[in-house]
């Protein structure tokens, strides 16, 4: 069974460090999880992900159910064995796909009826089915099937989705699972404070192993997102891990931790690695720009990753513009290393009671003005 303990609380903000103990290793929090929806962090060998400093990654039960199928994975020893990942796994149930693939889904009280985005075949995903799939995969942390409303939505729609999410959450909690598997509830409610509070209170009363905040980073302002996050955290049990789903940019990690978030996931570092956006201590750079054509410097002189130790910006630009596979791999490796390093520095700052100073230094160092758009998972 997964357990969580708070190790130290920061003297500034609501930040804290903790340890998430799983059957596949202990995870220091706050932690960022790379996204491996299809059983792979795109472009990288699992050992490379480990070398970046990660012990917990996210996979998606919805996608793995469609192919190769959870029964196939179970027959082959479970997802850890199938993908040769020795660390911990969190599996998302597929609730977010109700938003991203809304034109293929119909939500009923019993669950979700959807057409496969692969071949148009018809499927039904109930709370019990979502847990059955995740149990077969053998993940360490299972997410409930939730109903994430679209953004924007009316308060009435938000209340309906919260009521359904709570009913589904109870059914997920009652479903069979393996002894080592934990279940996290997901707080919904869009941007309506009262609805968010009601959702958090209802889920807390059910007694989950951890709690996620879903349905954010969908188009609301950052100020609104952080107001909702702070509100929800004030309601959730202090003894359980808090997980902000699908967020985000490096500055989102800093701000989320400041407000008390313990866990994050996002496609940002991997997806932007594939599109040439590279994260550095001074901001973000788009490697295809002409200014890097003869740039002999590493992506980030302050970075100790294998990419920055060996390759120049000029070479990475060449690989990207010629569509060489190595370019995507190196970009992804650097971005994931940057994210892992950032989280390690945040944890160290909390332990040293200097998070406020770290936060100020983080923003002071960011000089690059090239914009990038936040992307949910």
Catalytic residues: 92, 265
> Whole-angstrom Cα distance, residue 150 to residue 147?
10
- Bridge partner list, 35: 58
Long-range CB contacts for residues 150-155, cutoff 8 Å, separation at least 24: 150/99, 150/102, 150/218, 151/190, 151/191, 151/215, 151/218, 151/219, 151/220, 152/190, 152/191, 152/219, 153/190, 155/190, 155/192, 155/195
Closest to 19 (Cα-Cα) out of 36, 40, 3, 35: 3
How many beta carbons lie within 10 A of that of residue 305, not counting itself? Answer: 21
């Amino acid at each position: 069974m997964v357990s969580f303990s708070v190790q130290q609380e920061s003297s500034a903000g609501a930040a804290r460090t903790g340890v998430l103990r799983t059957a596949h290793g202990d995870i220091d929090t706050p932690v960022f999880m790379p996204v491996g929806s299809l059983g792979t962090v795109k472009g990288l060998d699992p050992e490379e992900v480990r070398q970046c400093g990660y012990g917990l990654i996210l996979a998606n039960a919805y996608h793995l159910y469609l192919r190769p199928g959870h029964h196939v994975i179970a027959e082959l020893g479970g997802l850890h064995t199938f993908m040769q990942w020795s660390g911990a796994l969190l599996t998302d149930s597929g609730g977010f796909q109700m938003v991203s693939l809304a034109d293929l889904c119909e939500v009923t009280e019993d669950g979700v009826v959807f057409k496969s985005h692969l071949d148009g075949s018809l499927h039904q995903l109930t709370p019990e089915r979502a847990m059955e799939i995740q149990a077969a995969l053998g993940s360490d942390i299972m997410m409930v099937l939730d109903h994430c409303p679209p953004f924007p939505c009316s308060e009435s729609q938000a209340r309906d989705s919260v009521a359904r999410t709570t009913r589904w959450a109870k059914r997920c909690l009652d479903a069979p699972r393996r002894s080592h598997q934990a279940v996290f509830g997901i707080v919904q409610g869009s941007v309506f404070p009262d609805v968010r509070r009601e959702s958090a209170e209802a889920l807390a009363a059910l007694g989950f192993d951890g709690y996620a905040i879903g349905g954010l980073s969908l188009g609301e302002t950052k100020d609104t997102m952080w107001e909702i996050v702070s509100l929800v955290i004030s309601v959730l049990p202090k003894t359980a891990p808090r997980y902000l789903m699908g967020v985000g940019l490096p500055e989102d990690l800093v701000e989320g931790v400041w407000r008390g978030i313990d866990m994050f996931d996002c496609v940002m570092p991997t997806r932007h690695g594939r599109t040439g956006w590279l994260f550095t201590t001074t901001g973000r750079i788009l490697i295809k720009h002409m200014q890097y054509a003869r740039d002999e410097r590493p992506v980030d002189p302050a970075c100790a990753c294998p990419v920055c130790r060996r390759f120049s910006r000029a070479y990475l630009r060449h690989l990207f513009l010629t569509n060489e596979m190595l370019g995507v791999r190196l970009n992804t490796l650097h971005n994931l290393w940057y994210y892992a390093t950032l989280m390690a520095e945040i944890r160290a700052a909390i332990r040293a009671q200097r998070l406020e100073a770290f936060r100020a230094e983080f923003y002071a160092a960011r000089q690059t003005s090239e914009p990038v758009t936040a992307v949910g998972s």
